[in-house]
Amino acid sequence: MIKIWGRSSAYNVQKVLWTIGELELPYQHINAGGSVGGLDQPEFLGMNPNGRIPVIVDDNITIWESNSIVRYLCAQYSHDWLWAKTPAKRSLAERWMDWELATLQPDFLDLFWSFYRTPEALHDHQKIQNASERCQKHLAMLDAHLAEQTFLAGDEFSMGDIPVATSLYRYFEMGIPTPQIPNVRRWNGALAERKPYREHIMTPFDELCGRQTF
Ligand SMILES: N[C@@H](CCC(=O)N[C@@H](CS)C(=O)NCC(=O)O)C(=O)O
Domains of the chain: 2-77 (3.40.30.10), 87-208 (1.20.1050.10)
What percent of the chain shows pLDDT beyond 90? 99
In 10 A of CB 77, how many CB atoms? 18
Q: What is the three-class DSSP state of 55?
A: strand
> Ligand 1 centroid to 23 CA: how many Å?
23
Does residue 80 carry a pLDDT above 90?
no
**Cβ–Cβ under 8 Å, residues 3 and 30:** yes
Ligand 1, atom 9: closest residue by C-alpha: 10
Spacing of C-alpha 42 from chain mean position: 27
β-pair type (55-58, 61-64): antiparallel
> Ligand 1 centroid to 148 CA: how many Å?
33
Does residue 214 carry a pLDDT above 90?
no
pLDDT in tens, 127-145: 999 999 999 999 999 999 9
**Mutation probe of ligand 1 site: the residue of 14, 40, 53 with most atoms within 8 A of C-beta:** 53
Q: Is 54 left (phi over 0), alpha (psi -120 to 50) or beta?
A: beta
What is the enclosing helix (H) or strand (E) of 11? helix 11-23
Ligand 1, atom 5: closest residue by C-alpha: 52
Mean pLDDT for all residues in the chain: 97
Omega cis (within 30) before 42 = no
**Cβ–Cβ under 8 Å, residues 92 and 52:** no
In 10 A of CB 38, how many CB atoms? 15
Ligand 1, atom 6: closest residue by C-alpha: 52
Q: Which atom of ligand 1 is nearest to the CA of 65?
A: 20
Task: Specify the pLDDT at position 124.
Answer: 98
Residues in the chain: 214
* Amino acid letter, residue 170: R
pLDDT in tens, 6-36: 999 999 999 999 999 999 999 999 999 999 9
DSSP code, position 113: I
What pTM does this model have? Answer: 0.97
Q: Give the binding-site residues of ligand 1, using a 6 Å CB cut-off.
A: 7, 10-12, 33-34, 39, 52-54, 65-66, 214
Q: Which atom of ligand 1 is nearest to the CA of 33?
A: 17
- The whole-number average pLDDT for the span 194-214 is 96
β-pair type (27-30, 61-64): unpaired
Q: Which atom of ligand 1 is nearest to the CA of 51?
A: 12
- The whole-number average pLDDT for the span 42-65 is 98
- The whole-number average pLDDT for the span 82-97 is 97
Q: Which atom of ligand 1 is nearest to the CA of 13?
A: 10
